[in-house]
Amino acid sequence: MSERLDDLLKQVDLREEELINLVKKLIEYKTPAPPARNTSQAQQFVADFLHEKNFEIDMWDVYPNDPNVVGVLKGKSSTKYKSLIVNGHIDVAEVSEDEEWEVDPFIPVIRNGAIVGRGAADMKGGLAGALFAILLMHEAGIELPGDLIFQSVIGEEVGEAGTLDCCNRGYKADFAVVVDTSDLHIQGQGGVITGWVTVKSKQTYHDATRRQMIHSGGNLFAASAIEKMMKIIAGIQELERHWAITKSYPGFIPGTNTINPAVIEGGRHAAFVADECRLWITVHYYPNESHEQIIKEVEEHLLQVANADPWLRENPPTFEWGGKSMIEDRGEIFPSLEVDENHLAVKKLVAAHEAVLKHQAIVDVSPTVTDGGWLAEAGIPTAIYGPGTLEFAHSVNEQVSIKQLLDYTKVLVTFIYEWCHTKKGGNENEI
């Protein structure tokens, strides 16, 4: 490790209080989603912070009062050296009125070596550590030869892919690190997609006609959409068990690829036979699968289930998949993400972790999802790496360890410095 870099790492410890105050500052901005539409002040703070460090700022509304911020620090030799995206979300999990916090969730405090407040673990600790790494390099007068792109995005907690907006806006790099909650593991992830399955009758019937639908001699070819949805649910359970038996992925407990029947809506009121029933499902799939593949498998199976039922054969289920917002259109997609352990950037991140922390890095798979899948889907090699544990993310008295926050910031300083000093070309699998 160079003497210059070693001096930066010492600064992290010497300026611990400054880093803690930066985390606190971010937590004090109330950005829970839902309700969302509340991030503009926090994002303006991030934009101003980056602008002061000579970043070119691109700030635009994804939704009213919910802007993305992208800061670009052009390298002094961009065409010859590797570029990096550092990505994180500014929104935090919602806070219910009946949650029994020891303190106000948005007035952070220090307890037992940890910063307590909503978003401390997920993921304002990660954002603050990354911003502090940028601050230290700026103050040291370090001019990176490769481009550094910082993305502070909105909407991750409610499936509003601010990161997808960044990708669609054309932001690319040779590698991306998503500084979300990973307990300092270097991680990929499975994927998630929500969908609506609808069973609908072509005709509506009074409830007094039910006898004619279900007893001999009734001579009425009709059915309750709710009862027919029961067959669809049974088919979903059958497919879920089949996946658990036939599919696996290293790092995942078998059967992690679930299909959750989360919400059911059906019928008009008690005087009608239910003429429509809608089922909201959440499908988890493995890192080596795509949501397009999963959609095809679910639809094909459920249409076969329907084909075996005389009424459903004539009134097959219909499907709506994904969505851009759990708030706006009740749907979301989180693409999967595979981490290539042999990629040069992953090797350098592993090396930075081990050089700074003096213990072996863990490369594994997150049991949850982040925006990392959108970056990977855009063709950018990506890994998740951030402070905080899922035990505390979204929890009452959410918190992040100060020691882990310091460790993370040191590793990120090292990795940013090393990666943006790596020449383009050559073998991506050689360190």
Distance CA 373, CA 375 (A): 5
Q: Check whether 2 has a pLDDT greater than 90.
A: no
Mean pLDDT computed over 376-397? 97
Distance CA 204, CA 222 (A): 9
Q: Give Cα 90 distance to the centre of its chain.
A: 12
pLDDT at residue 337, as a whole number = 98
pLDDT at residue 425, as a whole number = 84
Catalytic residue among 91, 157, 174, 240: 91
Binning pLDDT at 50, 70 and 90, where does residue 162 land? very high
* Helices and strands, counts by H and E, the chain: 12, 20
What is the gyration radius of the CA atoms in the chain, in angstroms?
A: 25
Mean pLDDT computed over 199-217? 93
pLDDT at residue 429, as a whole number = 56
Distance CA 344, CA 351 (A): 10
Each residue of 48-91: pLDDT tens digit?
999 999 999 999 999 999 999 999 999 999 999 999 999 999 99
Structural domains of the chain in order of their starting residue, each with its CATH number: 3-189+337-419 (3.40.630.10), 191-321 (3.30.70.360)
Q: Compute the mean pLDDT over every residue in the chain, rounded to the nearest whole number.
A: 96
Mean pLDDT computed over 250-262? 95
Mean pLDDT computed over 267-282? 96
- CB–CB of 429/343 below 8 Å? yes
Continuous segment of H or E residues that includes residue 413 = helix 402-419
156 tagged catalytic? yes
Query: Buried (b) or exposed (e) across 111-143, using 16+ Cβ within 10 A?
Result: eeebbbbbbbbbbbbbbbbbbbbbbbbbeeebe
Quick one: what percent of the chain has pLDDT higher than 90?
96
pLDDT at residue 1, as a whole number = 53
Strand pairing category for 272-273 and 382-384: unpaired
7 tagged catalytic? no
pLDDT at residue 427, as a whole number = 59
pLDDT at residue 14, as a whole number = 97
Q: Check whether 431 has a pLDDT greater than 60.
A: no
Beta partners for residue 71, in sequence order:
57, 150
Binning pLDDT at 50, 70 and 90, where does residue 4 land? confident
Catalytic residue among 66, 122, 147, 156: 156
Each residue of 88-126: pLDDT tens digit?
999 999 999 999 999 999 999 999 999 999 999 999 999
Dihedral angle computed from the Cα positions of residues 183, 187, 417 and 55, in that order, rounded to the nearest 10 degrees: -90
What does the DSSP assignment read for 71-137?
A: EEE--TTTTTB--EEEEEE--EE---TT---SS-TTS-EEETTEEESTTIIIIIHHHHHHHHHHHHH
Secondary structure of 10-75 in the HEC alphabet? HHHHHCHHHHHHHHHHHHHCCCEECCCCCCHHHHHHHHHHHHHCCCEEEEEEEECCEEEEEEEECC
